[in-house]
Amino acid sequence: MTFGQQPRQGGPQPQYTMNSAPYGASGQQPYYGGAPVVDAQTSYAYEHAEHQSVTRAYGEMTVGLIVTGVVAILTQISGFYVSLIRTMGVFGVWLPAIVQIGLAIWLGARVMKMSPTAARVGFYVFAALMGVTMSTIFGAYNLGTIGIAFLVSAGFYFALTMFGLTTKGNMLKAGPILMIGLIVLIVAQVVLMFVAPSNTMLKVITALGIILFAGMTIYDAQFTKRVFAQYANQGPEMIQRVSILCALNLYLDFINMFLYILQLFGMSSRD
Find which of 26-40, 49-63, 253-267 is predicted with most confidence, using mean pLDDT: 253-267
Assign 170 to helix, strand or coil: coil
In terms of pLDDT, which residue wins out, 233 or 8?
A: 233
Calculate ∠ Cα 49-52-57, nearest 5°: 130
Tens digits of per-residue pLDDT, 44-87? Answer: 455 655 667 788 899 999 999 999 999 999 999 998 888 888 88
Contact between 144 and 174 under an 8 Å Cβ cutoff? The reply is: no
Contact between 246 and 57 under an 8 Å Cβ cutoff? The reply is: yes
**pLDDT of the residue at 145:** 92
CA–CA separation, 44 vs 85, rounded Å?
55
CA–CA separation, 234 vs 112, rounded Å?
12
Q: Is the dihedral of CA 223, 226, 230, 236 positive or negative?
A: positive
Tens digits of per-residue pLDDT, 125-150? Answer: 999 999 998 998 998 899 999 999 99
**pLDDT of the residue at 50:** 64
79-88: list long-range contacts, CB under 8 Å, 24+ apart: 80/132, 80/135, 81/132, 81/133, 81/135, 81/136
Residue 11 has pLDDT above 70, yes or no: no
CA–CA separation, 143 vs 69, rounded Å?
13
Contact between 192 and 201 under an 8 Å Cβ cutoff? The reply is: yes
Q: What residue type is assigned to position 56 of the chain?
A: R
CA–CA separation, 101 vs 118, rounded Å?
18
Contact between 122 and 241 under an 8 Å Cβ cutoff? The reply is: no
Residue 23 has pLDDT above 80, yes or no: no
Tens digits of per-residue pLDDT, 148-207? Answer: 999 999 999 999 999 998 888 888 888 889 999 989 998 888 888 788 777 888 888 999
Which residues, 6 or more positions from 129, have their beta carbon under 8 angstroms from its beta carbon? 96, 99, 100, 103
Whole-model pTM over 0.85: no
Mean predicted lDDT score pLDDT of the chain:
80
Calculate ∠ Cα 214-230-127, nearest 5°: 45
Which residues, 6 or more positions from 9, have their beta carbon under 8 angstroms from its beta carbon? 108, 109
CA–CA separation, 24 vs 145, rounded Å?
62
